[in-house]
Chains A and B, each alone.
Chain A
């Protein structure tokens, strides 16, 4: 157990709690930067996929994990970011370096505008409202065919950055570094947001709206800001997803993606940035893990290649049910418990992370 001796109030909002923590995260960054020399192209592609999902997960985490507003419609903002990015490049001829942040901005503004009526809704109603938006967006893409290509979809152009041509297949390393740089940039912004008064306001709104209001926080404004920031980051992820996939249409960002995003951050661990990354690793690598184990089982048992449709989502569902029942704090929560166990060894108590039991009271009929 490390005891951090704080000598000023500013230490409370330091980026890293203590030196060794900074060292380990620094080491992680170094390894991540060096990854293209360590992995084959196939695995590098998978890592890019994980990073993009983590980016989208961070976007949703701002809203769900830190502001406590459930959203089942974030695929809509992935779509807004993706289409805005490609359309700005193709129709207006903007370079990637302009179109990418603009795509995030557009997505954020759209999200904040939608949030204005939505902030009146609570819990389950909010989830439904955002679900409706996701479904509407899917249909709107088809309706706005002259702009979006409708069902026949669109191809994303190659990224041109400072004179370099970046494409997923011909220059995977460059694509990887670009994604990594974006993820680290957003990560720093997110960390700083949490250390700022606005981030604290988000957490206050999550924990108790009434108390937050009593502390002088404008609830509606805070929620709308959280929505805007969340959808902006998700829009950035959508833009990268478009470039990564190469082709997209109305079905690329369907309702299942929204649900998967929400499930992902729950598996990772709600309310922590780590959770977005752990969840992304599970979601992005699960299909590959299933495929690999299927091949392995097929060859060892002599069954040939077995294909079971829908296995992936069912397995994901089972994992999720397991997590909600046995580890509601997600993978990161489990990691925290394991770490505390070893740090306090042999003084870890079972009840250390137990939450107080709460009983439901209805919001209807008072």
Chain B
């Protein structure tokens, strides 16, 4: 029973990591840029939902405020790309990394200034309820996290591989100039993908906040999600989820079986080993570079 409990809580955590990792991978897949502020996007999404839902702020019903928060984060992502990141067009990847790290600092400060630095909890109807699955009692939040993540990953996977816009996004990533010649509006495609990443971050934020409390530095969770994305294979959507689940499952087992202090390094140790022995992740998408 203990092991089962660990697996479930690990899966739920892993799904949140996976969702944040999905945001990383979405942006990377379509624009070849890495958004280091994805964790802070998640934090912002959670806080916007909190600001809309909690009684001391707007007091809207939970199921109304979640779509609004997702929409707001989508618009935020779109505008961010349109106003800031579009100027970076054609500059090196590292410049974008540094820019988004700086953006993370600013977002963390903004959230702290608006909602304070103390951990607060989201007043959601999901938190604290149980589901009874044939004698197995699970938290509703944990079950919901797993379901939402699975659905989101499937939808995004089909979106990228089947729909016209999804294929256009892949093309824009593989060769910007050629995609432009083919009539793909590369700039708008980029903005759309940032909007999508913002929306996914908002979903992750809501799920994360319903599992516990949230504070402005929650965005640092992004580093762990990043490790997850790399473990799974950067650029692969199922890989992101797989990496998230692996990291999520390792954590509770490591803290259960290994002495405290050693357990928290387990995900990073795995990341390091993966980078050394299989540099492009489990579901690798990189092949040998040609000249």
Residues of A within 8 A of B (CB): 70, 117-118, 120-121, 123-125, 127-129, 131-133, 135-136, 139-140, 142-143, 210, 255, 259, 262-263, 266, 308-311, 313-314, 316-318, 320-321, 324-325, 328, 357-366
Contact = CB atoms under 8 A, between A and B. Distances in A.
Report the interface size class on chain B: 35 or more
A70 B102 contact: no
8 contacts: A121-B279, A123-B94, A128-B226, A317-B101, A317-B105, A317-B106, A321-B99, A359-B177
Contacts of A318: 102, 106
Interface of B: 32, 34, 84, 87-88, 90-91, 93-95, 97-99, 101-106, 108-110, 112-113, 117, 173-177, 216, 223, 226-227, 230, 234-235, 261-262, 264-265, 268-269, 271-272, 275-276, 279-280, 285-287, 289-291
A310 B109 contact: yes
A293 to B, nearest CB: 17
Given A123-B94, A328-B95, A364-B285, A128 B271 contact: yes
A289 B271 CA distance: 39
A365 B174 contact: yes
Contacts of A139: 261, 264-265, 268
Contacts of A262: 98
A366 B98 contact: no
Main secondary structure of the interface of B (DSSP, over half): helix
Closest CB pairs A-B (n = 6): A314-B109, A317-B105, A317-B102, A320-B102, A117-B276, A359-B176
Contact of B101 (A259, A360, A365): A259
Main secondary structure of the interface of A (DSSP, over half): helix
Contacts of B98: 262-263, 266, 320, 324
Contacts of A313: 105, 108-109
Contact of A308 (B113, B264, B265): B113
A129 B275 contact: yes
B174 A361 contact: yes
Contact of A362 (B102, B175, B271): B175
A100 B103 CA distance: 37
Nearest to B281: A125
Contacts of B106: 314, 317-318, 321
B102 A361 contact: no
B100 to A, nearest CB: 10
A329 to B, nearest CB: 11
Contacts of B93: 123-124
Nearest to B263: A139
Given A320-B98, A324-B95, A132 B109 contact: no
